[in-house]
Structure 1
Amino acid sequence: MTGYHLAHFNAARLRAPLDDPATAGFVAGLDPINALADRSPGFVWRLAEGPAGDATTVRPTEPDVIVTLSVWESLEALRAFTYHSEHLDYLRQRRDWFVPLGYRASMVLWWVPAGTIPSPEEGVARLRLLGANGPGPDAFTFRSPFPAPEAARDAARPAPLPARPA
Structure 2
Amino acid sequence: MRHLAQINVSRLKYDVDDRRVQDFVRGIRRVNHLADRSPGFQWRYADDNGVAMQTTVPGQPNMIANLSVWDSIEALETFVWGTVHRQFFDRRAEWFDLLDTAHAAMWWVDTGTEPSLQEALDWLDHLRAHGDTDTAFGWAYLPEATRWRATSGTSATA
Alignment counterpart, residue 68 of structure 1, candidates 66, 75, 87 = 66
| % identical aligned pairs | 39
**2:94 equivalent in structure 1:** 96
Could you tell me how far 1:145 is from its partner in structure 2? 2.4
Q: How many residues align?
A: 143
Q: Name the aligned partner's letter for residue 136 of structure 2.
A: A
Aligned to 1:160: none
Task: Tell me which of 116, 125, 141 is aligned to 2:113.
Answer: 116
* Offset from partner CA, 1:105-131 (integer Å, 9 cap, x none): 001000000011101111111111111
In structure 2, the gaps of 5 or more residues are 145-158
Alpha-carbon contact 1:137-1:146 (below 8 Å) kept: no
Q: 1:138 aligns to what?
A: 135
Question: TM-score with structure 2 length normalisation?
Answer: 0.87
Q: 2:103 aligns with which of 79, 101, 106?
A: 106
**Where do 4+ consecutive residues of structure 1 move more than 3 Å?**
none
Q: Which residue of 1 aligns with 2:6?
A: 8
Superposition CA RMSD, Å: 1.3
The question of whether the paired residues in 2 share the 8 Å contact of 1:11 and 1:65 is answered with yes
Alpha-carbon distance between aligned partners in 2 of 1:60 and 1:96, rounded to the nearest angstrom: 20
The Cα shift of 1:146 comes to 7.9
| Contact 1:136 1:146 survives alignment (8 Å) | no
Which of 12, 15, 18 is matched with 2:16 structurally? 18
- What amino acid sits opposite 1:41 in the alignment? P
Find the counterpart in structure 1 of residue 40 from structure 2. Answer: 42
The residue number in structure 2 matching 1:162 is: none
Q: Deviations over 1:72-118 (max 9, x none)?
A: 0001100000001111011100001000223x200100000001110
TM-score, scaled to structure 1: 0.83
> Per-residue CA shift, 1:2-28, capped at 9, x if unaligned?
x10000100001100110001101001
TM-superposed CA distance for 1:60, in Å, is 2.7
> Is the CA contact 1:15–1:98 (under 8 Å) kept in the aligned structure 2?
yes
DSSP-derived class of the 1:60 partner: coil
